[in-house]
């Protein structure tokens, strides 16, 4: 259907998990996609598999210099930037008193401060896209179900992901006059390489841990990365041209209860 035909997208954390699924989905729908990730081997392998209209750039979004370089590489390769997907992040689970200063700084930097930096560095070309395209530009964030609610022993991670939702709402209002839409997806625990970090008991008994978690989802199944990628595709497309400032739960109904 080519719902993103001609669009240029950067996906941070794009080499695996939700990011990889989004890269594949955007690419299949006609976008030229930049895979920005710290995992050079996986990122380059993904781009080699996709072939044309994609390339890899090493990017640690906690480093402003890397963010700046990733945007510059995108403009050099493709000439513009229409979609930024701030997906990169990392888990933390444990009682709040176990988070020492280094852990606090790392979790907040990876999940919140880094997306600020990447967004700031991408704003100039995104503003240009907003001026040049009737459909505008868009910024997407991967928050979490923990950005909408909370559970014990995830307080540090939850604070960071709630911060993303606040950032989305503020940016949506600030950037609306520039024809830039800003939205987030808030997926529940998903079948990705980080799954063990989120489900208690996962390392000891994967099947039992999955079964316990599935029982908390009204639809009775755990999402796959493609479920979130499909939501992101919609939010990036012209079909969502009147949607901004939204934190969309991809949770099988967990927020409904």
Q: Which residues are catalytic?
A: 157
d(CA 67, CA 125): 13
d(CA 180, CA 122): 12
d(CA 151, CA 77): 43
Note whether 33 and 24 are within 8 A (CB): no
The single residue listed with the structure tokens 């996709």 is 50
Pair of tokens at residue 236 = 């990036």
Q: What share of the chain is helix, strand, coil (3-state, %, to 5)?
A: 50, 15, 35
CA 231 to chain centre: 11
Task: Return the closest-CA partner of residue 142 out of 63, 210, 78, 235.
Answer: 235
CA 94 to chain centre: 23
Note whether 43 and 56 are within 8 A (CB): yes
């Amino acid at each position: 259907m080519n719902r993103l035909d001609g669009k240029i997208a950067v996906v941070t954390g794009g080499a695996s998990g939700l990011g990889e699924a989004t890269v594949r989905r955007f690419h299949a729908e006609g976008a030229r996609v930049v895979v920005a990730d710290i995992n050079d081997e996986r990122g380059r392998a993904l781009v080699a598999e996709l072939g044309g209209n994609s390339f890899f750039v090493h990017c640690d979004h906690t480093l402003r210099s890397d963010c700046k370089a990733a945007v510059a590489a995108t403009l050099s390769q493709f000439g513009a930037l229409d979609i930024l997907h701030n997906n990169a992040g990392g888990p933390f689970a444990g009682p709040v008193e176990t988070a020492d200063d280094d852990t606090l700084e790392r979790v907040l930097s990876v999940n919140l401060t880094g997306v600020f930096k990447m967004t700031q560095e991408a704003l100039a070309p995104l503003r240009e896209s907003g001026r040049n395209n009737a459909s505008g530009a868009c910024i997407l964030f991967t928050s979490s179900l923990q950005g909408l609610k909370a559970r014990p022993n995830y307080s540090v991670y939850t604070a960071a992901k709630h911060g993303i939702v606040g950032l989305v709402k503020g940016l949506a209002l600030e950037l609306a006059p520039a024809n830039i839409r800003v939205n987030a997806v808030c997926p529940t625990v998903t079948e990705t390489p980080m799954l063990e970090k989120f489900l208690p008991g996962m390392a000891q008994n994967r099947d039992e841990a999955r079964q316990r978690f599935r029982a908390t989802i009204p639809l009775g199944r755990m999402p796959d990365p493609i479920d979130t990628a499909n939501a992101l595709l919609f939010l990036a497309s012209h079909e969502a041209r009147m949607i901004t400032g939204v934190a969309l739960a991809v949770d099988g109904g967990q927020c409904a209860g």
